[in-house]
Structure 1
Amino acid sequence: MNNWYRNLLVAVLIGSLSACVTTSNKTQAKPDAAHDKRIELGMKYLEVGQRDNARWQFSKAMELKKNSAQAYHGVALVHQANGELDHAEKAFKSAFRYATPKELSPIAVSYGRYLMEVGEAKKACEHFEKAAGDFDYKARPEALYLAGQCAQKTGNTARVKPAYEHAINLDPQYVPPMVELAEIYFQEGEYAKSKRLLSHFEKLSKPTPASLWLGIRIERIFGNKDKEASYALALKNLHPYSKEYLEYRRFTEQN
């Protein structure tokens, strides 16, 4: 999403929030709606890097709803982005303390990301797995993908492939695990399976260094020289300083 569109979304939300707050003040009704708008706007400000504005919105949300888990969650994300890790940890703990069952999984995913950042991957995996096991959590594919990444980082390789497969099974349009799973299939000698998944990825997303490098190796296996050359040219032109291009150059020199 480009910056212009993100800023447009923020502008629209500001207008929506203003209307909501005005209506709430006039009727003294639906304070939860105003709270939710503050949270929504704060998250959008975070998305475009306006951390001070985001924190202000979360503070206003706390004024509307005491002990708001969502507001503490937002504050934790602001502190994390600012590198204020002790404050982030404290805010995350408050978010968990006041969260309803429905609010726990989004907080768990964010806290898992935080734990990965501070080098506590094993603890992070536990939070990702909890969110992945929440059947009512709409972002389960993301939680499963993060569980797979976390498992890879902690050496639990047996968990990686099932987590990625489960994520894509839940949402066949969920792109993040596709190239990594296709790479796993390739390493296992499941070349046709790897190619099918890579082709599916290419219909949904722009090429990445990893996808192009995998494409080169797949097409070499199948003897499709034209397609292999096409992938190689794209890798050279689009990502000449990537580690994948360096791997490709070493590969060609050795073969």
Structure 2
Amino acid sequence: MTARLARISSLLLLGATACGLLGCTSATQQATRRRDDASNYNMQLGISYLNRGDLGLAKEKLDRALAENPRDPNVHSARAMLEDRLGHPALADKEFKEALDLGPRSPDILNNYAVYLCRTGRIDEGVKTFEEAAHNALYRTPEAAYTNAGVCLRGAKRDNEAAMSFQRALQGKPNFAEAAYQLADLDFARGEVELARDTVDQFMASFDPTPDLLLIGVRISRKQGDRLAEERFARRLRMDFPASDQARALAELSHNPG
């Protein structure tokens, strides 16, 4: 009898210990979740302040987010953008690299890093990073990465490569208006007026245009001396986007036709 009681006591003790461990595990998981949620909240606040230009408050919130979760790649990416705005390129680069080293190479972080690389003159690295983002199966908008690569290349006066990047974006998503605009604007700027007009016309034959596309359409048509097309583009810009910056630019263009 004593042996049986001892065995039961032992089993009860094991059960209590197991429950205790499960309770500890659950409590630890809850604490981790609360910490991660707090870090994410502070990160979002930091990004919001960063977008508003309040760098002091952005730094305070992002420092807190880092203390709460130092292994979150998104926190390091946000801090990289802050350090860039603060004029600390070495720290920005370090934060971007840490963000990419902490886990799977997030296409959104790759895109942010590529923008930074291009803006700081590291064109080849930037384009390569944009392309890595575009090739990532988890990236929902690869056409945006190709378009960004094209803008980067155009800024470096590598126009032929830029045009190919814009074309790749349109091949992947023919209704991506920004790529169509960038390609038309590039061709127009380098004197390929017919190509620019073809890009605008082909896009508008299937998809709704943006204010940028309508305004470049006005400029292209004016250069070609096609008054009917110029008025058609201008009328649609005034009617569909009356409060846009492009409509205001159109008014200035009309007052200064040269």
| TM-score strictly above 0.5 | yes
- 2:64 pairs with one of 38, 60, 63: 60
Give the structure 1 partner of residue 116 of structure 2. Answer: 114
What is the letter of the counterpart of residue 196 of structure 1? Q
Shift of 1:161: 3.1
Partner residue in 2 for 1:13: none
- Aligned with residue 203 of structure 2, among 180, 197, 201: 197
In structure 1, the residue matched to 2:138 is 136
* Residue 176 (structure 1) aligns with: 178
Q: Percent identical across equivalent pairs? A: 19
Matched, 1:85 2:89: yes
Maintained 8 Å contact 1:46/1:54: yes
Q: CA RMSD in A?
A: 3.8
Listed as ranges, the gaps of 5+ residues in structure 2 are 1-26, 239-244
Alignment of 1:69-84 (within 5 A): 69-84=73-88
**Structure 1 consecutive aligned stretches of length 4 or more whose deviation exceeds 6 Å:** 232-237
Pick aligned residue for 2:52 from 48, 51, 54: 48
CA distance in 2, matches of 1:226, 1:165: 24
Instruction: Tell me whether 1:95 sits opposite 2:99 in the alignment.
Output: yes
Partner residue in 1 for 2:228: 225
| Residues 214 and 234 in structure 2, CA contact (< 8 A), matched pair in contact too | no
- 1:38-96 Cα offsets, whole Å, 9 max, x none, are 33332222222232222222222222222322111111101111222232222223222
Structure 1 residue 173: Cα displacement: 5.3
CA displacement 1:83-131 (0-9 Å, x = unmatched): 2223222222322232x2152x222222222222222222211111111
Q: Return the offset for 1:182.
A: 2.8
Q: Distance in 2 between matches of 1:198 and 1:219?
A: 18
**TM-score of the superposed pair, with normalisation by structure 2:** 0.66
Q: Is the 8 A contact 2:46 2:59 kept in 1?
A: yes
TM-score scaled to structure 1, two decimals? 0.67
Secondary structure class of the residue paired with 2:136:
coil
The answer to whether residue 243 in structure 2 is matched with residue 239 in structure 1 is no
Cα separation, 1, equivalents of 2:51 and 2:246 = 32
Report if the CA contact (8 A) 1:132-1:141 is conserved.
yes
